[in-house]
Amino acid sequence: MAIHPIEYRYGTGEMRAVWGEEHRFSCIVQAEVALARASAEHGFIPDQAAGAIAAGAHHATLSRAKEIEEEISHDMMAIVRAIAEQCGEGGGFVHYGATSNDILDTATGLQVRDALVLIDEKLRTLLAALLKRSEETKMLVCAGRTHGQIGVPTTYGLRFAIWASEVARHIERLAQMTPRVAVGQMTGAVGTQAALGEKGMEIQETMMEILGLTPVDVSNQVIARDRYAEYFMFLAHVATTLDKIGIELRTLQRTEIGEVEEAFGSRQVGSSTMPHKRNPIKSEQVCGLARVVRSAVEPALQNNTLWDERDLTNSSCERVLFPEASILTDHILALMIRVIEGLTLKPARIAQNLSMLQGVNMAEAVMIELTRKGMNRQEAHEIMRTASMDALARGIPLSHILSEDKGIQRYVSPAEIRALLDPGRYIGTAPAQVDRVIAKLTPRCSRVK
């Protein structure tokens, strides 16, 4: 019986598989085999034993390990015995010199690495979608808004480029942090490697080389959880960017604004009682689940404050945190890709909103030109502030107010005023900025092999 929504509602099959029981078991088996191979290479166990473990370990099954765990109530030792059963005489050397978390934390490192590969792929796909939209809307002028109020014009291309730039920084962060968070250890009961003898450091190095993980420089019985806290903060960071985009798209889809709309299927139902509704449910889901992802940060930080060489308070917590935060982040990334790719823009409504204030939102352009023509900047600001308030109060175009002011016309002609009040002529370097972002970030849409 499914209970948690990630079992039946949220998440991609590939990310669920990374954090599923079978893959977890497989990662543990890989870690045990790598330990045996590294131990044999450095003369700590016989070559024949390592060969037997390498040949037999992958025949061990999760179901058999669970049977043994029912008897002995220790999950790691149950897996060790299930593996040993398949390795003949080599079974006596399974887990030799290791403590549970050497294997369990190393397995987590493998899972984190696999999860980050999937997240990296989706971040790059989202980046490509945002850059495509940015190129398409490079010259689509719209109302900029600050404090929820219409300001000077901007472009949709610039909006998409800003989001793309943020996503690109996440790709950089992922690459930078992977060696710090996809790590493994083989340090023994309290971190001294006493059970591994004088070759302990070499065994650890070789084992992690086999697995493709970064070895810890130093550890106690567990890998320091600041590494995992960084992973969860990264997931929260990504989720917050998606939340930010989702909030903006939801705002722009409000009936009163109506500039964009999520893709809506021909047979899709928006409301069980209001047949006309076309709700931004995908963006809302992104925003809602981002809250859950962010909630993983606090317990992840607390997991780093363990007693002495370790306690067990992190273990139960991490069994929930890793799959939940990873699966939900991957899910909302996939969802936001669909939103961006399917987003409909409404040029007529965009133009309507841009002209809603009848030129008042272009007051800065006139102020800048008045100053350029010789008026004191502070005087120009006050003149345009007064004129704008007058236009808003009377509900008439700003051009009418300015045409009545002979003082202004000493600096700018009526024709110049009309040109200054044209939003399309006041977008500055926005198109050039978009071009620069596209040129810089397009190569990052594909992962370098």
Q: How far apart are CA 329 and CA 229, in angstroms?
A: 15
Which ranges of 137-265 does DSSP label H, i.e. alpha helix?
A: 156-181, 200-211, 226-252
Structure tokens at 43: 């003369």
Give yes or no for a contact between 167 and 128, defined as CB atoms under 8 angstroms apart.
no
Tokens of 169: 């920084």
* 161 residue type, one letter: A
Which H or E run contains 28? helix 21-41
- Please give the Cα distance from 330 to 338 (Å, whole number): 13
Distance (Å, whole) CA 372 – CA 440 = 34
* Catalytic positions: 147, 271
Phi, then psi, of 261 in degrees rounded to 5: -155, 135
* Residue 97 contacts residue 196 (beta carbons within 8 Å): yes
Phi/psi for 219 (5° steps) reads: -160, 170
